[in-house]
Amino acid sequence: MERHRKLAAGNWKMNGLSDHLGEIAALIGSHGDATCEILICPPATLVAPMAAHAGSRIAVGGQDCHAEANGAHTGDISAEMLRDAGATYVITGHSERRADHGESDEAVRAKTEAGWKAGLVVILCIGETLDQREAGETLSVIDGQLAGSVPEGATGDNLVIAYEPVWAIGTGKVPSVEQIAEVHDHIRKTLSERFGTGTADAVRLLYGGSVKPGNASEIFAVDNVDGALVGGASLKADDFGGIISALEG
C-beta separation of 89 from 41 below 8 A = yes
Provide the β-strand partners of residue 59: 39
Q: Is 137 a residue of the active site?
A: no
Q: Is 164 a residue of the active site?
A: yes
Helices 237-248 and 213-220 pack at an angle, to 10 degrees, of 20
C-beta separation of 145 from 191 below 8 A = no
Q: Of these residues, 66, 94, 103, 128, which one is catalytic?
A: 94
Contact residues for 210 (Cβ-Cβ < 8 A; gap 6+): 168, 169, 170, 171, 172, 173, 174
Question: Which strand (E) or helix (H) includes residue 125?
Answer: strand 121-126
Q: Are strands 7-11 and 89-92 parallel, antiparallel or unpaired?
A: unpaired
Q: Of these residues, 66, 103, 164, 184, which one is catalytic?
A: 164
Residues designated catalytic: 94, 164
